């Protein structure tokens, strides 16, 4: 088999050359890192869960017209994506105070913010991804004023969509990070959502218990990270398709309206974990 060309390797993902020009293959690793790699551990199965959760979210966004890079999932760890020029700015949307905004502004974790707040961080590991203003983004040419407007408008749409999606499964969307890329379509450059959306890039709290169901379990050494990610996938109705054959007999299958409608033998519908 022809060896694929590796285009880029990040902390949690690898990008390979895709089968067609203008496409890439995004591979989800099991590496969990925090505080710019000061913490680093391999979390068995994280890549598979994030691939599946991110696929679900990006597919839904495509359905409702939020432009993004996702084309299709290829196997347990890989998805085919559109090649974009990544804008070197992370866009964070916050609904509830948590993480760095608490330290910066002296807020208490869990405070509901007066409104959703958008922040920009310059993607630069050597500098620990510093918070920057729109002025920095435009002055240094990382994105134009129009691109900032596009990113902010898309970020708000994603926030509305994701807040509803998670509320429907009893989860509060505290905050999340987006990355954007420039994509050439019919000789026009369009800003689209790139990277991933998963419990690695969101803060997700159980609505009743307020238990953390995201990467803060790792950052704060709380344990149970994979279990929490699996719980998110389960509530989103994704585990049925993910689980390998267990030979444990019939399992209940949910219909679209969430009611159990019948029984089916469990089995792996995936292509297998080719990319591992």
What residues line the site for ligand TMP (CB under 6 A)? Answer: 92, 99-100, 129, 175-177, 201-203
Q: Which residue is nearest to ligand TMP (CB)?
A: 99
Our CB check for ligand TMP shows the closer of 204 and 233 to be 204
Our CB check for ligand TMP shows the closer of 74 and 228 to be 228
Our CB check for ligand TMP shows the closer of 18 and 231 to be 231
Contact 18, 25 (CB under 8 A): yes
Contact 179, 81 (CB under 8 A): no
Helix (H) or strand (E) holding 239: helix 239-242
Helix (H) or strand (E) holding 122: strand 112-122
Two tokens at 83? 């090649």
DSSP string of 162-200, one letter each residue: HHHHHHTTTEEEEEEEEEEEEEEETTEEEEEEES--STT
Our CB check for ligand TMP shows the closer of 20 and 125 to be 125
DSSP label of 264: E
Our CB check for ligand TMP shows the closer of 79 and 159 to be 159
Q: How far is the CB of 264 from ligand TMP (least distance, A)?
A: 36
Nearest to 41 by CA among 197, 221, 227: 221
Our CB check for ligand TMP shows the closer of 30 and 175 to be 175
Contact 203, 101 (CB under 8 A): no
C-alpha distances in Å from residue 231, one per residue of 38, 224, 236: 27, 10, 8
C-alpha distances in Å from residue 180, one per residue of 71, 245, 253: 16, 37, 36
Question: CA-CA distance, 146 to 126, in Å (whole number)?
Answer: 28
Contact 82, 69 (CB under 8 A): yes
Our CB check for ligand TMP shows the closer of 73 and 177 to be 177
């Amino acid at each position: 088999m022809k060896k694929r060309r590796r285009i880029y390797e990040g902390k949690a993902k690898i990008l390979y050359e895709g089968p067609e020009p203008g496409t890439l293959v995004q591979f989800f690793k099991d590496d969990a890192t925090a505080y710019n790699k000061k913490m680093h551990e391999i979390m068995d199965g994280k890549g598979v869960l994030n691939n599946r959760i991110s696929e679900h979210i990006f597919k839904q966004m495509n359905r409702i017209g939020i432009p993004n890079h996702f084309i299709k999932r290829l196997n347990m760890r890989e998805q085919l994506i559109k090649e974009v020029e990544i804008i070197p700015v992370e866009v964070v949307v916050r609904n509830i105070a948590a993480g760095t905004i608490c330290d910066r502004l002296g807020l208490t974790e869990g405070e509901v913010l007066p409104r959703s707040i958008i922040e920009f961080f310059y993607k630069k590991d050597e500098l620990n991804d510093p918070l920057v203003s729109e002025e920095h983004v435009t002055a240094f040419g990382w994105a134009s004023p129009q691109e900032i407007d596009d990113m902010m408008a898309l970020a708000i749409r994603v926030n509305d969509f994701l807040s509803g999606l998670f509320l429907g499964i009893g989860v509060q969307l505290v905050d999340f990070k987006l990355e954007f890329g420039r994509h050439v379509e019919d000789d026009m450059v369009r800003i689209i959502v790139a990277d991933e959306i998963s419990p690695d890039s969101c803060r997700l709290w159980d609505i009743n218990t307020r238990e953390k169901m995201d990467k803060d379990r790792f950052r704060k050494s709380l344990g149970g990270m994979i279990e929490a990610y699996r719980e998110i996938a389960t509530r989103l109705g994704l585990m049925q398709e993910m689980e390998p054959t267990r030979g444990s007999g019939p399992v209940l299958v949910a219909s679209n309206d969430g009611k159990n409608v019948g029984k089916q033998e469990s089995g792996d519908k995936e292509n297998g974990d080719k990319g591992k």
